[in-house]
Structure 1
Amino acid sequence: MMRLVVPALLALTVGAPSFASEDIPDQYPGSALYQKPVEVIPHVWSAIGATAPPTYENHGHNNNLSFIVTGDGVVVVNGGAAYELAKALHDEIRSITDQPVRLVINENGQGHAMLGNSYWAEQGVPILAHEDAAEEFADYGMQSLQQHQRVLREKAEGTTLVGPTETFEDSYRIEMGDFRIEVLHLGPAHSPGDISVWLPDQSLVIAGDMAFHERMLPIFEHTITADWIDTWENAFEPLGATYVIPGHGHPTNMAQVRRYTHDYLVYLRARIREHLDEGGDLTEAYYVDQSPFAHLDTFEELATRNAGRVYEQMEWE
């Protein structure tokens, strides 16, 4: 087993909460990446995106783009939100290692995970995703591309719709170089086809949108919160990961993402249950108390929307 050395960045983020601000400007001028990739543990890197929504200024880089330098090639987690963004990540990889990129994994079917596939496909790199994520991208990829084109304008140049070249149903296991890599669909969570990349020998999980902590998680129309909680309790947390690279925000630990993902979902559902039991309607449901989470980035954009969607779900449970 590889000996783990905790870099200073991870020691800080694991030891105490670290909250990003939407007001912080681009941290890596001269690159499409919002921040320069950091080595989270030996040979596992991540370029941490902004916790704000995608903007022209951050090049759409508002999620984490990670990669594993295995010793016999590089595995990239997330295609990125645009051709230019994927290329910028590849430039960073080349500055770190001469090992070729052998696989790209899309964490789900959203634009920030798949729109950069157009670059990776041009390089001849295989692209892997869960079958539900591939279907989601086939259905809504054009809508996502058009939205990114409106936001990124000329920075979206070269970005086209390219889906995964390979899909799987439950799990996909890779033996490459010094790493065992398990790509896991643990169950329903944030969006269709969400996966987590588990490195059992390193006790590290690249969680994707299973886990949030610095920004408020979004609840979509197809996000079934009761199922997300069940997947968390019965499949994700039992991994027992020491290190967690979430879909958004800095690397941290399981306790931190539990607090702001699992515990937030449980809390919000409890407030909505109280509201329903008191005969409250949808209009009032938007304003149930979520103040314990008001410090999270994107709270203003998402809190009321989340409450309304949970109300609509729980009204029929």
Structure 2
Amino acid sequence: MAKAFASQGDTAEKKISFTEVGKDLWAFTAEGDPNSGVIIGDDSVMIVEAQATPRLANMVIEKVREITDKPISHVVLTHYHAVRVLGASAFNADQIIMSDVARGMVMERGQEDWDSEFQRFPRLFEGHESIPGLTYPTTTFSDSMTVYLGNRKVEIKQIGRAHTAGDSVIWVPDEQVMFTGDIVEKHSACYCGDGYFGDWGNTLDNVKAYDPQSIAPGRGDALVGREAVDEAIELTRDFVNSTYKPVAQVAARNGTLKDAWDACREVCDPKFKDYAIYEHCLPFNVARAYDEARGIAHPRIWTAQRDLDMWDALQG
């Protein structure tokens, strides 16, 4: 490669924040690193997103133990990506929940994704020796399921494709709070390398239709209040559209992937270059947008070698 991926040089530890987004609902955030959510019920705790390693998961557990001693009974994984799921073993939960589609993606491409992300983002995988293997759910659902933490009702739903084919959201109706995974981000680039550009906007509309009072997004700060929620949804929409449109225009005239990269940067750099993980996401986003614009409906599997080949092509 002419140079390393941007994420390979991202070695600084991030400042952790733990923000209450509703009564007994918390967002664990870390300056653009993958977020986790905490839902405290009458008798137990649900975790949303397990982090990349047991080491990082234990940082979430430390924050949980500052506010409650209730046992962690459930871990919900909104999709299959390694940085979201490989820390699950640390929680010792009774149930690990994923959509049927997300479980299928673990089966289809989980190991390749782990190898790829390990190469891309070494800081997130410090302590990787403690990962026992791929994370598989104990419980799956199609479309939706409901979990009761005592009297607290938690709805886990698929409301459309966006970041991946198997995305789920977690809705807590008593507080009108949603945990969106990477469907919504706050001042952080969307990773679209396994995404569906054509569906993402409709899925954002479906999020908005719930009228959430607060959102714990996939990356970036917690979104507390309708104004913050609406702003983040529209900025996420703008990011996705601004990435896809210039790439699709290049693909329509049979331009190269490098042409698409240049066109995307021209549009997106002025608006988003200060977003967390922007440089990390951009090559994968362009590659997926280029595929989708040329009629490749479903994201191709990223492997460690495909990452390198794509990056070499973009370096010209």
Q: TM-score, normalised by structure 2?
A: 0.78
- 2:13 corresponds to which residue? 26
Compared CA separation, residues 124 and 258, structure 1 to 2 (3 A): closer
- 1:228 corresponds to which residue? 200
Contact 1:83 1:157 in 2 (8 A): no
Partner amino acid, structure 1, of 2:98: A
Cα distance in structure 1, aligned partners of 2:280 and 2:118: 21
Higher share in helix: 2
Cα distance in structure 2, aligned partners of 1:128 and 1:137: 13
- 1:89 corresponds to which residue? 60
Q: 1:80 aligns with which of 51, 57, 64?
A: 51
Query: Structure 1, residues 240-280: CA drift from partner, whole Å, max 9, x if none?
Result: 11211110110123222223321222233333344456664
Contact 2:74 2:94 in 1 (8 A): yes
Compared CA separation, residues 257 and 74, structure 1 to 2 (3 A): same
Partner amino acid, structure 2, of 1:134: R
Higher relative contact order by CA 8 Å / sep ≥ 6: 1 or 2? 2
Q: How does 1:141-290 map to 2 (within 5 A)?
A: 141-146=110-115, 151=122, 155-161=127-133, 162-220=135-193, 222-233=194-205, 235-252=206-223, 253-275=228-250, 280-288=255-263, 289-290=267-268
Q: How does 1:6-17 map to 2 (within 5 A)?
A: none
In the alignment of these two chains, the number of paired residues is 276
Compared CA separation, residues 176 and 267, structure 1 to 2 (3 A): same
- 1:13 corresponds to which residue? none
5+ residue gaps, structure 2: 1-8, 297-316
- 2:289 corresponds to which residue? 310
Cα distance in structure 1, aligned partners of 2:207 and 2:174: 16
Q: Secondary structure at the match of 2:131?
A: coil
Query: Structure 1, residues 52-77: CA drift from partner, whole Å, max 9, x if none?
Result: xxxxxxxxxx2111111112211111
Query: Structure 1, residues 206-231: CA drift from partner, whole Å, max 9, x if none?
Result: 110111132111221x4221022222
Cα distance in structure 2, aligned partners of 1:312 and 1:26: 34
Contact 1:82 1:115 in 2 (8 A): yes
Q: 2:26 aligns with which of 45, 49, 68?
A: 45
Q: How much does 1:91 deviate?
A: 3.2
Pairwise CA RMSD: 2.6
- 1:137 corresponds to which residue? 106
Q: How does 1:285-304 map to 2 (within 5 A)?
A: 285-288=260-263, 289-290=267-268, 291-304=270-283
Partner amino acid, structure 2, of 1:209: D
Contact 2:176 2:212 in 1 (8 A): yes
Q: How much does 1:104 deviate?
A: 0.8
Which segment drifts farther, 158-167 or 89-98?
89-98
Identity %: 22
| 1:128 and 2:107 matched | no
Q: How much does 1:148 deviate?
A: 6.7
Q: How much does 1:24 deviate?
A: 9.9
- 1:59 corresponds to which residue? none
5+ residue gaps, structure 1: 1-21, 28-33, 52-61
Partner amino acid, structure 1, of 2:136: G
Compared CA separation, residues 202 and 276, structure 1 to 2 (3 A): same
Query: Structure 1, residues 262-317: CA drift from partner, whole Å, max 9, x if none?
Result: 12222333333444566644332211222222221222233344234313322338
Q: TM-score, normalised by structure 1?
A: 0.77
Cα distance in structure 1, aligned partners of 2:287 and 2:85: 28
Q: How much does 1:46 deviate?
A: 1.9
Contact 2:21 2:215 in 1 (8 A): no
Contact 1:117 1:163 in 2 (8 A): no
Cα distance in structure 2, aligned partners of 1:72 and 1:96: 14
Cα distance in structure 2, aligned partners of 1:124 and 1:286: 43
Compared CA separation, residues 305 and 146, structure 1 to 2 (3 A): closer
Cα distance in structure 1, aligned partners of 2:117 and 2:244: 32
